[in-house]
Amino acid sequence: MKTQLEAARAGIITEAINTVAHNEGLEPELLRSRVAAGEIVILNHPQRPQQQVVGIGTGLRTKVNASIGTSSDICDLDLEVRKAKIAEEEGADTLMELSAAGDMNAIRRAVLAATNLPVGTVPLYQAFRETALQHADPSKLDPEQLFDLIERQLADGVSFMAIHCGINRWTVERLRKQGYRYGGLVSKGGTFMVAWMDRTGKENPLYEQFDRVCALMKKYDAVLSLGNGIRAGAIHDSHDRAQVAEMVVNCELAELGREMGCQMMVEGPGHVPLDEIAANILLEKRMSGNAPYYVLGPLPIDSGAGYDHIASAIGAAHSARYGADLICYITPAEHLALPNEEDVREGVRAARLAVQIGDLAKYPQARENEKAAAKARRDMRWNDLDQHLLFPEIARNLRQSRMPEQRDTCTMCGDFCAMKKGAALFSKDIAGDKLA
């Protein structure tokens, strides 16, 4: 079986390419050429026929990922299934199942059965958790067990994986020579792998046997997302030598993986001040040959806990505007607690709003909906306005909870409505489509 990348390089327009082209309003041949170049990846697991087919990359709508999963403190399979369904209901494009406790095989399979979204994982979480339970020491991880686990998750129907291949002796040495980190190491998988390498004195098997990783991903036509285990956990660590060293390695691996016929994404850093976001995306795109960029957040501030979903929406809007392709949401619980159902709901909504703002700056055609919304608001056509809103039910409920005396206005202005006064000042002709 050819991967989507291999088929595209052979000049084949697959059914998945046709589906994505239709959904995105692009010509199939244009999409095929970008898949062939490695600028677009397609999530389409062959063993999950009900799964939504999702394209990520250049020229496509910026996508939103929602992450769920258990922890050692809160481990409830039913809760994770409900969170998965909420993420899909709220319009997430992809889902990452990141459980680190409980029966992780059962949780993953239940989530896969509960949603039509493409599902991703970080296999190192389960690998180190199971090793810790078996040996009381995560550093006793057997690389062969790790590779077996990767295939087991792929066989279950996982469409993409964040795999920490870019951590190697060279990147760890950059971290040691740097000698400090304001935010420390914040990637669970990355931190455990650095500790494993330090304890065993061995090279990261995911880097050392990268061809084997790619072969497994190709077998299931899954997308390899090159995880950033040394990402910045504080804005003062953004673009330090350790982070940039890992980005360089990941971008090299993205090129190597594509040469092997594997679909590749690169993951980006978590905490980045606003003035560095554009440069970060430029670096990734230039060094990786325009591989799709999966940005975690980003968070442009360290002191916004409790409202990190809003802080990250600001960073995500900038990221989408400058070329990020997939945004991982942040919930209000980030840095504080495991997200609950309402946190997932709010996180997806904030991220969807952010990527829409970014896409309005990136793609002029995305503005047509905004024009229609503005005209409906101007003319006080409330039912028509609903059709153009990201969150119509919320808007409708807010308006109905405080209905005005004059139904063609709202209680913000009442009989002092500027819209009504403006309509009286201009003719129907000027106030209508000719002005638009």
pLDDT tens per residue, range 150-186: 999 999 999 999 999 999 999 999 999 999 999 999 9
Same domain, 168 and 237: yes
Confidence of residue 283 (pLDDT cuts 50, 70, 90): very high
* Residue 277 to residue 296: CA distance in whole angstroms: 12
* Residue 340 to residue 342: CA distance in whole angstroms: 6
Look at residue 28 and tell me if it is in a domain: no
CATH number, domain with residue 319: 3.20.20.540
Same domain, 258 and 136: yes
Percent of the chain with pLDDT over 90: 87
Same domain, 392 and 337: no
Mean residue pLDDT of the chain comes to: 94
Same domain, 266 and 386: no
What pLDDT sits at residue 208? 98
Q: What is the mean pLDDT of residues 346-353?
A: 98
Query: 88-103, pLDDT tens digit by residue?
Result: 999 999 999 999 999 9
The sign of the CA dihedral 272, 276, 278, 283 is negative
What pLDDT sits at residue 433? 57
**Does 421 or 228 have the greater pLDDT score?**
228
Same domain, 138 and 272: yes
Same domain, 177 and 202: yes
What pLDDT sits at residue 436? 44
Look at residue 125 and tell me if it is in a domain: yes
Query: 377-395, pLDDT tens digit by residue?
Result: 988 898 999 999 999 999 9
* Residue 134 to residue 141: CA distance in whole angstroms: 10
**Greatest C-alpha distance within the chain:** 79
Look at residue 371 and tell me if it is in a domain: no
pLDDT at 200 over 90: yes
With tokens 């880097």, the residue in question is 207
Confidence of residue 428 (pLDDT cuts 50, 70, 90): low
Q: Give the number of other Cβ atoms within 10 Å of residue 104's Cβ.
A: 23
Domain edge (last residue) among 362, 394, 419: 362
Structural domains of the chain, count: 2
pLDDT at 298 over 80: yes
Q: What is the mean pLDDT of residues 387-404?
A: 93
What pLDDT sits at residue 426? 63
* Residue 4 to residue 20: CA distance in whole angstroms: 12
Same domain, 208 and 238: yes
SS (H, E, C) the chain: CCCHHHHHHCCCCCHHHHHHHHHHCCCHHHHHHHHHCCCEEEECCCCCCCCCCEEEECCCCCEEEEEECCCCCCCCHHHHHHHHHHHHHCCCCEEEECCCCCCHHHHHHHHHHHCCCCEEECHHHHHHHHHHHHHCCHHHCCHHHHHHHHHHHHHHCCCEEEECCCCCHHHHHHHHHHCCCCCCCCCHHHHHHHHHHHHHCCCCHHHHCHHHHHHHHHHCCCEEEECCCCCCCCHHHCCCHHHHHHHHHHHHHHHHHHHCCCCEEEEECCECCHHHHHHHHHHHHHHHCCCCEEEECCECCCCCCCCHHHHHHHHHHHHHHHCCCEEECCCCCCCCCCCCHHHHHHHHHHHHHHHHHHHHHHCHHHHHHHHHHHHHHHCCCHHHHHCCCCCHHHHHHHHHHCCCCCCCCCCCCHHHCHHHHHHHHCCHHHHCCCCC
What pLDDT sits at residue 435? 47
Q: What is the mean pLDDT of residues 313-328?
A: 98
Look at residue 130 and tell me if it is in a domain: yes
* Residue 249 to residue 245: CA distance in whole angstroms: 6
Query: 128-143, pLDDT tens digit by residue?
Result: 999 999 999 999 999 9
Q: Give the number of other Cβ atoms within 10 Å of residue 407's Cβ.
A: 9
Domain edge (last residue) among 329, 362, 395: 362
Same domain, 273 and 314: yes
Look at residue 215 and tell me if it is in a domain: yes
**Does 420 or 244 have the greater pLDDT score?**
244
pLDDT at 425 over 80: no
Out of 73-82, 108-117, 250-259, 398-407, least confident range: 398-407
Query: 224-233, pLDDT tens digit by residue?
Result: 999 999 999 9
What pLDDT sits at residue 106? 98
Same domain, 148 and 212: yes
Cα torsion through 185, 190, 195, 196, rounded to 10: 180
Query: What is the span of the domain harbouring residue 129?
Result: 59-362
By DSSP bridging, strand 40-43 and strand 54-57 are antiparallel
Same domain, 188 and 105: yes
Out of 45-49, 217-221, 272-276, least confident range: 45-49
Confidence of residue 418 (pLDDT cuts 50, 70, 90): confident
- With beta carbons less than 8 A apart as the criterion, state whether 287 and 251 touch: yes
Look at residue 237 and tell me if it is in a domain: yes
Domain edge (last residue) among 362, 397, 421: 362
Confidence of residue 424 (pLDDT cuts 50, 70, 90): low
Look at residue 357 and tell me if it is in a domain: yes
pLDDT at 193 over 60: yes
Same domain, 87 and 169: yes
Same domain, 346 and 385: no
Q: What is the mean pLDDT of residues 179-203?
A: 95
pLDDT at 406 over 90: no
Q: What is the mean pLDDT of residues 182-195?
A: 94
Look at residue 401 and tell me if it is in a domain: yes
